[in-house]
């Protein structure tokens, strides 16, 4: 037997078991206005050390929890004053602050991680630094990115709100948008945007130079129906909430399809118009394994999933070893 043929047999024996699985782990939340309850949660983000923040959109507030959902606190009420919200949407976390897209107040507010108000910027309009229904927010590379949905563009700022630049306009071409919704920043600085109305994901350099795109309207692997939130996991995999297909899909950094899970329903592991996602290894006592949080909006809950190693089949391993005898 040639060396090439032997190598091929080894790969065939191992390949079906090479990928880890993502499985349901837990959930929290019911519909309501009380502590730990939600009215259409929109986005979810996890901080280093395990604190999890959720924008509770129709309750006009932010709530935060332990890594497994024990209630720890909240802030915000309906209104337009400092620390008040009108349908908050995207979240962005830095090491110090929580940035919140305050959608129908057409602004970005930021707080410390206990909810104390720090500052705000933006007003309704189409000019530089203004917003029309901002839906997404993310922090990365010392920039705050905002998906300015109604203006079909991305704007980015320094940590205290000074405008640094923007890109995008309405359209279907590369670098154009139709209601950008989610935004996430990879470790290498690339910026991923769910171009919701165009049913695709686009990604860019940190300052907006187009790098690539994937997706189309549909229900197949790698297709979307109104994609929502996006998150880049440590290591570079990109997780995308496929909102109207009631599932999560994940990809390589360049958009090659890797896997998916979910269907419509109220059961564990099912979704009803999910929107936000956070893929993280920032868990207390465990930095090796991936956990994925999903804001399951119409089920008024947060679900979380874990990555597990694939099953090992000793008989298969034995056959591979036998080839080398």
**8 A C-beta contact, residue 244 and residue 251:** no
Burial (Cβ within 10 Å: 0-12, 13-18, ≥19) of residue 63:
buried
Helix (H) or strand (E) holding 257: strand 257-261
pLDDT at 13: 39
**8 A C-beta contact, residue 106 and residue 129:** no
pLDDT at 86: 98
The Cα 125–Cα 155 span in angstroms is 13
Q: What is the pTM of this model?
A: 0.90
DSSP helix/strand/coil, 281: coil
Within the chain, residue ranges assigned H as helices are 3-14, 314-322
The Cα 269–Cα 247 span in angstroms is 9
Structure tokens at 99: 């940035």
**8 A C-beta contact, residue 80 and residue 105:** yes
Provide the CB-side half-sphere exposure for 195 (13 A, CA).
29
DSSP collapsed to 3 states, 120-175: EECCECCCCCCECCEEEEEEECCEEEEEEHHHCEEEEECCCCCEEEEECCECCCCC
Residue 205: Cβ within 10 Å count: 13
pLDDT at 316: 46
Max alpha carbon distance in the chain (Å)?
76
**Cβ neighbours of residue 178 closer than 8 Å, sequence gap 6 or more:** 152, 170, 171, 172, 195, 196, 197, 198
Residue 319: Cβ within 10 Å count: 13
pLDDT at 16: 38
What are the helix and strand counts (H, E) for the chain? 2, 24
- E-assigned strands of 40-79? 41-46, 52-56, 61-65, 71-75
pLDDT at 312: 52
**8 A C-beta contact, residue 27 and residue 263:** no
Domains in the chain, CATH or no CATH each: 29-313 (2.120.10.30)
Q: Which residues of the chain have pLDDT under 50?
A: 1-18, 313-325
pLDDT at 7: 40
**Cβ neighbours of residue 21 closer than 8 Å, sequence gap 6 or more:** 307, 308, 310
Structure tokens at 297: 């909006």
pLDDT at 48: 85
Among candidate residues 238, 239, 230, the one with its CA nearest the CA of residue 254: 238
pLDDT at 282: 74
Taking only the tens place, the pLDDT of each residue in 289-308 is 899 999 999 999 999 999 98
Determine the distance from the C-alpha atom of residue 232 to the mean position of all C-alpha atoms in its chain, rounded to a whole number: 7
């Amino acid at each position: 037997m040639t060396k090439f043929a032997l190598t091929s047999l080894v790969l065939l024996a191992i390949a079906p078991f090479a990928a880890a699985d993502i499985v349901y782990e837990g959930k929290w939340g019911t519909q309501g206005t009380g502590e730990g309850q939600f009215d259409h949660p929109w986005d979810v983000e996890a901080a280093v050390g395990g604190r999890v923040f959720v924008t509770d959109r129709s309750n006009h507030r932010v709530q935060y929890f332990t890594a497994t959902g024990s209630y720890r606190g909240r802030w915000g009420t309906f209104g337009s004053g400092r620390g008040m919200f009108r349908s908050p949407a995207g979240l962005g976390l830095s090491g110090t602050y929580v940035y919140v897209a305050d959608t129908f107040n057409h602004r970005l507010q930021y707080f410390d991680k206990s909810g104390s108000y720090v500052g705000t910027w933006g007003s309704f309009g189409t000019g530089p630094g203004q917003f029309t229904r901002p839906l997404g927010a993310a922090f990365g590379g010392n920039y705050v990115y905002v998906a300015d949905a109604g203006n079909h563009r991305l704007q980015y700022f320094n940590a205290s709100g000074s405008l640094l630049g923007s890109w995008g306009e309405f359209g279907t071409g590369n670098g154009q948008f139709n209601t950008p919704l989610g935004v996430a920043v990879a470790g290498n600085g690339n910026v991923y945007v769910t171009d919701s109305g165009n049913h695709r994901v686009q990604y860019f350099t940190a300052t907006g130079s187009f790098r690539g795109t994937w997706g189309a309207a549909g229900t197949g692997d790698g297709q979307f129906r109104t994609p929502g939130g996006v998150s880049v996991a440590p290591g570079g995999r990109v997780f995308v909430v496929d909102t109207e297909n009631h599932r999560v899909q994940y990809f390589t950094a360049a958009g090659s399809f890797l896997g998916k899970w979910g269907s419509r329903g109220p059961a564990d592991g099912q979704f009803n118009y999910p929107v936000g996602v956070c893929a993280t290894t920032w868990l207390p006592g465990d930095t090796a394994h991936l956990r994925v949080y999903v804001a399951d909006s119409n089920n008024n809950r947060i679900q979380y999933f874990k990555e597990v190693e694939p099953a090992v089949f000793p008989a298969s391993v034995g056959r591979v070893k036998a080839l080398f005898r």
